[in-house]
DNA sequence: AGGATAGGTGACCAAAAGGTCACATGTAAA
DNA sequence: TTTACATGTGACCTTTTGGTCACCTATCCT
């Protein structure tokens, strides 16, 4: 399986996107801490984190018996660059900002 | 199913990403033209295009008996904005440009 | 040492997704 | 008005994926 295939497949699941949201809010969490936020057993959470790690979206570091998880935003940026060229970026950006404002998320 | 779920699920399949690549290169193609680029029957191609359309990644317009397909980059930009905030964007962008250069894709 | 805590593996099952086919509708052109 | 062309639908099958469980390893603390 290619690198980008792993990234897109990893992002396809809502639980995994939620895990990225958690790490985006605060990095360096352990498996147990992340698992406690999910409606799922530890084994399910582990599988999801493994998928994210193999895709390079999450990087980890061992600290004693704990495993700390960190978000890696680089693959996300590469997605963006694939279908939005530098010439159209300005217009698209304007459109999405408008969308945010209309939704009250600005 | 939520909007963003549809987008991410649509992007999870390599055939659908290839279809987006084709439309990124040149817009306004018919189903038959797109299908001829795939190693698959017309029915498979139709299913994929339907998924892309329901996700809002592709918009269509009828012209007689033909259906023309166009790429819509807005949902892609929204993915980017979800996990890359304005403060870290500068650094991430620098990293990805470096990656492109190292791969000879600059 | 020994119990408690944090993380890991492989098998297993149900649900979802990718792909094909028989069949059907609408439009263009002779 | 036939004939060919472009697109559309529902059923069907196979493979992949999400989730759980029994069982296992490593680290910390008393």
Determine the average pLDDT of the residues in B9-25. Answer: 97
Query: Does the structure show a pLDDT above 90 at B6?
Result: yes
A81 touching B (Cβ < 8 Å):
yes
Instruction: Measure the CA–CA gap between A19 and A25, rounded to whole angstroms.
Output: 10
> What strands lie across the sheet with A66-71, from one edge to the other?
A29-30, A66-71, A58-63
Q: Does B80 sit within 8 Å of A79, measured CB to CB?
A: yes
Model-level pTM? 0.88
CATH code at A63? 1.10.10.10
CA distance A66 to chain B (A): 25
* DSSP code for A38: S
* Higher per-residue pLDDT: A49 or A105: A49
Q: How far apart are CA B70 and CA B25, in angstroms?
A: 11
Look at chain B and report how many structural domains it folds into: 1
Could you tell me if A96 and B74 are in contact, meaning their C-beta atoms sit under 8 angstroms apart?
Answer: yes
pLDDT of amino acid A71: 96
Which pLDDT score is estimated for A106? 42
Q: Do the chains contact at A74 and B12, CB–CB below 8 Å?
A: no
**Interchain CB contact of A93 with B (< 8 Å):** yes
The tens digit of pLDDT for each residue in B76-99 reads 988 888 998 766 777 777 777 777
Using CB atoms, pick whichever of B8, B81, B95 lies closest to residue A74. B95
Domain span including residue B13: 3-103
Please indicate if any CB of chain A lies within 8 Å of the CB of B14.
Answer: yes
């Amino acid at each position: 399986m290619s690198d980008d295939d792993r990234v897109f497949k990893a992002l396809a699941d809502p639980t995994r996107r939620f895990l990225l949201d958690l790490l985006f809010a605060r990095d360096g969490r352990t498996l147990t801490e992340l698992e406690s936020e999910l409606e799922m057993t530890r084994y399910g959470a582990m599988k999801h984190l493994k998928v994210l790690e193999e895709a390079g979206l999450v990087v980890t570091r061992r600290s004693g018996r704990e495993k700390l998880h960190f978000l890696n935003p680089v693959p996300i940026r590469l997605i963006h660059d694939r279908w939005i060229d530098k010439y159209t970026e300005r217009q698209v950006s304007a459109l999405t900002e408008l969308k945010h404002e209309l939704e009250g998320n600005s």
